[in-house]
Amino acid sequence: MKRRFAIYIAACLCATATMAQKVKQSTVCNADGTVTFRYENPNAKEVQVDVQFAGRNPMKKGADGVWTATLGPAAPDIYPYCFVVDGVSVMDPLCPQYFPNEGFKNSLLEIPAKSGSLAHDIKNVPHGRVDYIHYYSNSLKGVNNAIVYLPPKYDTDKDKKYPVFYLLSGTTDTEEVYYKVGRVNYILDNLIAEGKAEEMIVVLPYGNPTKLLPPAPAPAGGFGGFGGGMGMMRDVVGDDLTGDLMSYVESHYRTINDRDHRGIGGFSRGGNQGLGIGLRNLDKFSYLCSYSSFTATEIPGVYDNAADTNSKIHLFWLGVGTDDFLFGNARDYMEHLDKHGIRSVKEFTHDKFGHTWMNAKYFLDKSLRLLFNPTASEEAMKNGKPALARTGEEQQFTGATMARLFPRQVTSPEYADGKVTFRINAPEAKSVTLESELLATPVALTKGDDGVWSVTLTDHVDDVFKYCFIVDGTKVADPTNMYLSPDQGFKYSIAYAPNNPYDVQKLGNIKFGTIAHDWNQNTATYVPSISAADGGIIFLVPGKDDTMESWFKVGGANLISDKLLAEGKIKSFHLISDADASKKFIESKTVHVLKASDYKTWKERRAALEKLLLSLK
């Protein structure tokens, strides 16, 4: 355990290893607090590094074709960054950690604290389990996904039940962000180990589930100052969370199912959604948290009835940075609560770069200490201070701000009429090709008058495969595709064909298994929805550049098993993705090993897994 723990720590830190290249470390943390970035690309004409603590800065090219820049100093924390190569954003091909997002593609730089005292540090303490789940949502009429954190003793103390905190991420974030960027699991592991937080289950919903379903027109009206789109999000997410996700969680995990043991909150859009859902459902939630956000000021029976509202809320926690572009709106909302006599706890920061995940982690650490602890929460609420006085210079969120932060993007890949079209906006590029594991050679894209390059394929339309663009010789993940292959080096995009046999929406209302992440052992385990007593274990060995997640995120191993189990065609097997499996276990009647390296493509690997599962009946 300690060996695996040390390996994971090393992979997360500022210095990252490389393979057969001149660059041995793409990011190096210097003793003076600065960071040196290195990027190898001898063919590039201009390269910049864009990092959250310093913005976009030029890099200088050396005679060896390596571009360098030293920036900072910066405080120890985790910062998103990317390289901008001839106008196109590129993830660091040497960095194992990345920012899951519907749009932008960033790597993660971790500057460690010398004392190892940051809230999100991965310490040698007992760690909880992290489950990936699928569930059928009646309100959505489709399948949604979420992540569930279970505290360290969940699997050993079989009789204990736990409170639940529903935690939503921001605009364009996926359900993974509070896990892989916000590190809620490690923050809570540390607090629980130190006796500073209650044991709890944390559920990370996907805050934009309509993206998983066929497009539908947005309803008229607005919500919380964000416009019609956010009104749609509130209704869709709220109905799904309270009507479908909660019932799934409470029927699959040991939870305490009353308002005194439920909380809800989130960052940015997730804070808006969380407060909106919570305040409209005070019969279900009594702990409310908003990180860098605000919500509607017109909710019947809430603001105009302070005594009743205050009696129902154990903790109303709000935090925002004074340099956040939402500060003005968030401050106004806090003042609105004060004027109506609604008690709340308010936290302000001044040095975490505004609307960032540095703030989100800080706020999470502060509020988790109070959740489901009525005594500590009541003390904090009694000592809650009023909103900061208005200065007239506060930033205010507007539609123009939204358009600037989230500009309209091209659609890629786009499936229609038995074809799939790939697009990338690269107006300065001279050449763009599409590379795929299913294409014998890269295919050229054609540039349109708007600077968008595109190509349409009629082959492989029903396949799931890895691909990337090659822009003037540089590999680039598809900027507008939210699905990234979790590779060790360069991270390819994944084309998920909606007509593939294991498309989760086509599977519909079936029982889905879960995928449990164990970073201590570096394994991902699929646990079937049906008891595996009659089956056994299949060890899925990742390929050379794969990670423990690859068999599931690219290979769809869980969905293959889900479908065949639902059809009654196979026994139920635990599927364990483990790089060392072939060294540890000898195949038997109940233990089997399938190696990704024995097959060239993920299409072949999926076929091999299906064949193996069917043969074991």
CATH assignment of the domain containing 51: 2.60.40.10
Query: Strands 47-51 and 77-85, how do they pair?
Result: antiparallel
* Portion of the chain with pLDDT greater than 90, in percent: 82
Residue 479 lies in a domain: yes
Q: What digits encode the pLDDT tens for the residues 236-249?
A: 899 999 999 999 99
- Can the peptide bond before residue 126 be classed as cis, meaning omega within 30 degrees of 0? no
Q: Is the pLDDT higher at 531 or at 616?
A: 616
CB-side neighbour CA atoms (13 Å) of 482: 15
> In sequence order, which ranges of 340-470 are alpha helices (DSSP H)?
357-368, 374-382, 399-405
User: Predicted confidence band at 14 (pLDDT cuts at 50, 70, 90)?
Assistant: low
Residue 517 and residue 488 share a domain = no
User: Residue 233 has what pLDDT?
Assistant: 45
Q: Is the pLDDT higher at 118 or at 581?
A: 118
Residue 359 and residue 226 share a domain = yes
Query: Strands 77-85 and 106-111, how do they pair?
Result: antiparallel
User: Residue 12 has what pLDDT?
Assistant: 42
Q: Is the pLDDT higher at 85 or at 221?
A: 85
Residue 54 lies in a domain: yes
Residue 226 clears pLDDT 80, i.e. is over it:
no
User: Predicted confidence band at 117 (pLDDT cuts at 50, 70, 90)?
Assistant: confident
Q: 164 pairs with which residues across the strands?
A: 201, 262
User: Residue 15 has what pLDDT?
Assistant: 52
Residue 21 clears pLDDT 90, i.e. is over it:
no
Domain boundary among 496, 529, 556: 496
For 383, residues 6+ apart whose C-beta sits below 8 A from its C-beta are 345
Residue 374 and residue 276 share a domain = yes
Residue 363: alpha-carbon gap to chain centroid: 18
Residue 476 and residue 354 share a domain = no
Residue 504 lies in a domain: no
User: Predicted confidence band at 530 (pLDDT cuts at 50, 70, 90)?
Assistant: confident
Q: What digits encode the pLDDT tens for the residues 247-282?
A: 999 999 999 999 999 999 999 999 999 999 999 999
Query: Are 133 and 248 in contact, with CB atoms under 8 Å apart?
Result: yes
Q: Is the pLDDT higher at 404 or at 292?
A: 292
Q: What digits encode the pLDDT tens for the residues 61-102?
A: 999 999 999 999 999 999 999 999 999 999 999 999 999 999
Residue 430 clears pLDDT 60, i.e. is over it:
yes
Domain span including residue 21: 2-111
Domain boundary among 471, 496, 521: 496
The identity of residue 488, as a single letter, is Q
Q: What digits encode the pLDDT tens for the residues 387-423?
A: 999 998 888 887 777 777 777 789 999 999 999 999 9
User: Residue 115 has what pLDDT?
Assistant: 78
Average per-residue pLDDT for the chain: 90
- What value does the mean pLDDT take over residues 168-186? 95
Integer Cα distance of 502 and 525 in angstroms: 19
User: Residue 3 has what pLDDT?
Assistant: 36
- Provide the b/e sequence for 115-132 (b: ≥16 CB within 10 Å): eeebbbbbbeeebbbbbb
Total tally of structural domains belonging to the chain: 4
Among the residue ranges 129-138, 209-218, 325-334, 430-439, the one predicted with the least confidence is: 209-218
- What is the CATH number for 252? 3.40.50.1820
Integer Cα distance of 458 and 462 in angstroms: 10
* Portion of the chain with pLDDT greater than 70, in percent: 91
User: Residue 368 has what pLDDT?
Assistant: 98
User: Residue 9 has what pLDDT?
Assistant: 40
User: Residue 534 has what pLDDT?
Assistant: 64
Integer Cα distance of 195 and 189 in angstroms: 10
User: Residue 24 has what pLDDT?
Assistant: 74
Residue 327 and residue 221 share a domain = yes
For 427, residues 6+ apart whose C-beta sits below 8 A from its C-beta are 87, 450, 451
Residue 452 clears pLDDT 90, i.e. is over it:
yes
User: Residue 400 has what pLDDT?
Assistant: 75
User: Residue 519 has what pLDDT?
Assistant: 77
Lay out the sheet containing 66-71: strands in order across.
Answer: 27-29, 35-40, 66-71, 60-61
Integer Cα distance of 312 and 449 in angstroms: 58
Residue 593 lies in a domain: yes
Residue 554 and residue 467 share a domain = no
* Cα torsion 21, 24, 29, 30: sign: negative
Q: What digits encode the pLDDT tens for the residues 356-370?
A: 999 999 999 999 999
Query: Are 8 and 2 in contact, with CB atoms under 8 Å apart?
Result: no
CB-side neighbour CA atoms (13 Å) of 378: 5
User: Predicted confidence band at 144 (pLDDT cuts at 50, 70, 90)?
Assistant: very high
